[in-house]
Chain A
Amino acid sequence: MEKPKVNIDHNNKVISLRGLEKSFEDYAVLRGIDLDLYQGENLVVLGRSGSGKSVLIKLISGLLRPDKGTVEVLGNDVLALNDRQLRELRIRIGFSFQNSALYDSMTVRKNLEFPLVRNRKGITRKEIDAAVETVLDAVGLSQTINQMPAELSGGQRKRIGIARTLILNPEIMLYDEPTAGLDPITCIEINDLINEVQQNYKTSSIIITHDLTCAKMTGDRISMLIEGQFQRTGTFEEVFDTDDARIKPFFDYNFIA
């Protein structure tokens, strides 16, 4: 399926990273990352496992702090914010985790209600129920409302994880390996869902993946992360129209797979 056309505002940067570096002990994961995400855009960050893709979005959401560089999100310097300001900013960012990170001890309904109840003081029961219904409809899983996360399939967990982030109407979505561990058909459903979220919720997104189908279906722009740096950025065709020995095998092996 082709990616639907969307309006991207190239004059409005929602995320801007400059000279980002991050090491764990002696291992340098990110070595000078520059990145801009524009309003309404889906940017896919492709790279091998362990290349620092997940670290990148954790730096954006303030879960990790960089060793060097600047992180600007929705006009805020993330590194200069205090705890309260960071929490307020995070409400505007949706983070979909690789393993969904649903709260095991809560039903789907409670999982979805949790961010809403915590962040919208004075919200009524009726408004909560309506918001839960809306996001469950958006991900097509209304029937699971009273189920526990352990009763859901991998694809359903991913969808509920996305629904939980959508309930706060985020302006930015960060997807960490949205199709990892799923069968090809569920992968396509998740890719479609990412595009629907972009269109219906007017979000700008960074999608971390090593799945080329996901990259092709969801990305307006693709950045290839190799050895802690972006080696190539552009459309899918632009990125892979190369003889670069570090990029070509990535495409070939994915194609064979």
Chain B
Amino acid sequence: MDTASNIPPPAKKRRNGFIKGLGTFFKDIYKIHLFILRFFKEAFLPPFEFKEVIRQCYEVGVRSFTLISVTGFIVGFIFTKQSRPSLSTFGANSWLPSLVSIAIMRALAPLVTALIASGKVGSSIGAELGSMRVTEQIDAMEVSGTNPFKYLVCTRVLATTLTIPILATYTALIGLLGGYLNVATNEGISYTAFVQAFFQPLVFLDFTAALVKSIVFGFTIGIVGCYQGYYSDKGTEGVGKAANGAVVTAMFLVFIEEVIIVQITGNFR
């Protein structure tokens, strides 16, 4: 029977809970590092899973294509619309294409693509692998002589790492189209003039930084989704947690990486 003497006081209980939580946090950090190291160890050693990587690239692209098309267009259109009043105040409407290009190329295209892909692709990877873990499909793969890490994880991470930069480029082009339509409607500028003004302020570093960012975001989305799914808890709740964890963690990390990369590239300007 519980007595007042053997029930821990709330403060002690909270402290124990905090220490346990902290322990789990560092254990998870350690596990994810091992997971990343294992990826680099296995992804670049034969046998290579080219066919599966290509299939996964197709899956990632198809899954996100419609959403990215719509979002990219809206971002370009709305950003242009919202920026106009500020520039009009200074009579600088002609700078609109340049402003849109810098915003889209340097930040919006990789970021919007990564956020959409986190939700669409990351959750899908987390849920798929989580479900495979729960139903012992990963174990079945392992006992039938296939390395499930290589087949399931390496291929998906490579696919997101390769595909997100392509999707980000596409988002930038669609964003450009959205921006152009808005500018053309209001300022009556020709497409050639708009494109010329769009690319005029951009330098090599902008393209490189956007590419590096997209690669890092793609890798993050893939590795987080795979980690959450591959080590998901047993039961249907585990699948839900894996999908949710994949989205939330990937989005959080994408923002952190954005800040870090912007700081680093800022030093080269």
**Which residues in A have some Cβ–Cβ distance to B below 8 Å?**
58, 61, 63, 83, 87-88, 90-91, 93, 95, 97-99, 101-104, 114-115, 118-119, 164-165, 168
Q: Shortest beta-carbon distance, A213 to chain B, in Å?
A: 25
| A104 and B145 in contact, given A63-B139, A95-B140, A97-B136 (Cβ under 8 angstroms) | no
Across the interface, name the chain A residue whose C-beta is closest to B128: A105
B131 at the interface (CB under 8 A from A): yes
Q: 20 A-B pairs, CB-CB below 8 angstroms?
A: A63-B139, A63-B143, A87-B146, A87-B147, A90-B142, A90-B145, A91-B144, A97-B136, A97-B139, A101-B135, A101-B139, A104-B131, A104-B132, A114-B144, A118-B144, A118-B145, A119-B144, A164-B140, A164-B144, A168-B145
Interface residues of B in 138-162 (CB under 8 A from A): 139-147
CA of A90 to CA of B141, assembled, Å? 10
Tell yes or no: B137 within 8 A of A by CB: yes
Residue pair A83, B137 in contact (C-beta under 8 Å): no
Give the distance to chain B from A111, nearest Cβ to Cβ, in Å. Answer: 9
Q: CB < 8 Å: which of B135, B145, B147 contacts A99?
A: B135
- Which residues of B approach A to under 8 Å, CB–CB? 131-132, 135-137, 139-147
Bound: A102/B141 CA distance, A: 10
Tell me whether A101 and B146 are in contact (CB under 8 A): no
Majority SS of interface residues in chain B?
A: helix
Least CB distance from B235 to A in Å reads 13
**A71 to B143 alpha-carbon distance, docked (Å):** 16
B145 touches A91 (CB 8 A): yes
Q: What CA separation (Å) do A91 and B141 show in the bound complex?
A: 11
- Is B137's CB under 8 angstroms from A101's CB? yes
Contact, CB under 8 Å: A119 / B145: yes
Give the Cβ gap from B126 to chain A, nearest Cβ, in Å: 15
- Give A168 to B145 CA distance when docked, in angstroms: 10
CA gap between A119 and B144 in the complex, in Å:
8
What residues of chain B lie closer than 8 Å to A90, measured between beta carbons?
142-145
CB distance from B156 to the nearest CB of A (A): 13
Q: How far is the CA of A103 from the CA of B143 in the complex (A)?
A: 13
Beyond the given A87-B147, A90-B143, A119-B146, please list 18 additional residue pairs across the A-B interface where CB-CB is below 8 A. A63-B142, A87-B145, A90-B144, A90-B145, A91-B145, A95-B139, A95-B143, A98-B136, A101-B137, A102-B137, A103-B141, A114-B144, A115-B144, A115-B146, A118-B144, A164-B140, A164-B144, A168-B144
Choose from B131, B132, B136, B145 the contact partner of A88 (Cβ within 8 Å): B145
How far is the CB of B113 from the nearest CB of chain A, in Å?
25
CA distance A93 to B145 in the complex (A): 9
